[in-house]
Structure 1
Amino acid sequence: MSAESPAAPRPARSIRQTLASIVLAFELVVVFLAALVIWGLDAAPFGLPAWSALIAGGVLLVGMIAAIGLLRVEAGFILGWVLQVLILLAGFLNPALFIVGALFGGMWWYCMVVGARIDRQRKELA
């Protein structure tokens, strides 16, 4: 038998972290599908090859996965904001992404504001 000390319990995730991970996870699916649509329609702009849509989508997906992993620190939230702007700007590549970017950007903003407020209230009550 080893004399291992019990692992310290992980601190509870904040509401802001939880909401941010939910938004990014749903957005991950939508961006994946959008990249496939742009590739499948051969609709890459500026005369780029169709597979460039898959590369750009893959970069965004890796960024979202990294942001989800970094949500324990402020850098994850900053990366999340950067990704929201990039997805909105992707509307210049495919106009439907303006709608996607606006919807998810609005959800991201709302989750950041409300999540921070709930976390402040919980901290005050504790």
Structure 2
Amino acid sequence: MKRAPRSVKVMFASTILTLEALVAFFATLAAFGTFYNSETWVKVIVWIVGLALVGAFIAAPAFLSKKWGYTVGWVLQVLLILSSLVVSMMLFISVCFALCYWYAVSKGEQIDRENAERARAQAEWERNNPA
């Protein structure tokens, strides 16, 4: 019984988004450290926004099977880049991860196309050469 092939694009993008959840969590810790001596409400806002971003990164791979799922991924990339307004070193890290996300999506799409072509050629060969 043949299995439907899994999308490499979804697998690559899911991996990057999951890794970014860890990055967002550590950025939240860094932001909390930056505002450690601030008022309590500031620290609470840091944790709420940070953990919401972590949750969004964890939930985003579930939507990659939808056409708009990749748009959600790009919005999260922009939000991670904007986190550099609070923790300046996040600019370098978040731009690197945005490039990784772009590469994962584009290369995964290319590999999926090649796999579909290979499967089509294999099915044609099997049809023309019965056992």
With the shorter chain as reference, the TM-score category is 0.7 to 0.9
* Percent identity for Structure 1 against Structure 2: 32
Give 2:31's aligned residue: 38
Kindly tell me the number of residue pairs found equivalent between the two proteins. Answer: 117
CA RMSD of aligned residues (A): 2.3
* Residue in structure 2 matching 1:62, options 31, 41, 55: 55
Runs of 4+ in 1 over 4 A off after TM superposition: none
Deviation at 1:38, TM superposition (A): 1.1
Pairwise mapping of residues 1-126 of structure 1 onto structure 2 (< 5 A)? Answer: 11-42=4-35, 49-126=42-119
Task: List gaps (5 residues or longer) in structure 1.
Answer: 1-8
Answer yes or no: is the 8 Å Cα contact 1:38–1:44 preserved in 2: no
C-alpha distance in structure 2 between counterparts of 1:10 and 1:125, whole Å: 15
Letter in 2 for 1:94: V
Deviation at 1:23, TM superposition (A): 0.4
C-alpha distance in structure 2 between counterparts of 1:55 and 1:86, whole Å: 14
Q: Do the aligned partners of residues 115 and 42 (structure 1) sit closer, same or farther apart at CA in structure 2, a change above 3 Å counting?
A: same
Answer yes or no: is the 8 Å Cα contact 1:21–1:68 preserved in 2: yes
Answer yes or no: is the 8 Å Cα contact 2:16–2:97 preserved in 1: yes
Deviation at 1:75, TM superposition (A): 2.2
Letter in 1 for 2:79: L
Q: Which has the higher contact order (CA 8 A, sep 6+)?
A: 2
Q: Hey, which of these two has a bigger chunk of helix by percent? A: 2
* Largest Rg, 1 or 2: 2
Letter in 1 for 2:16: V
Kindly provide the CA deviation profile for residues 75-106 of structure 1, in whole angstroms up to 9, marking residues without a partner as x: 22111010001111111121111112101101
Please give the TM-score of this superposition, normalised by the length of structure 2.
Answer: 0.79
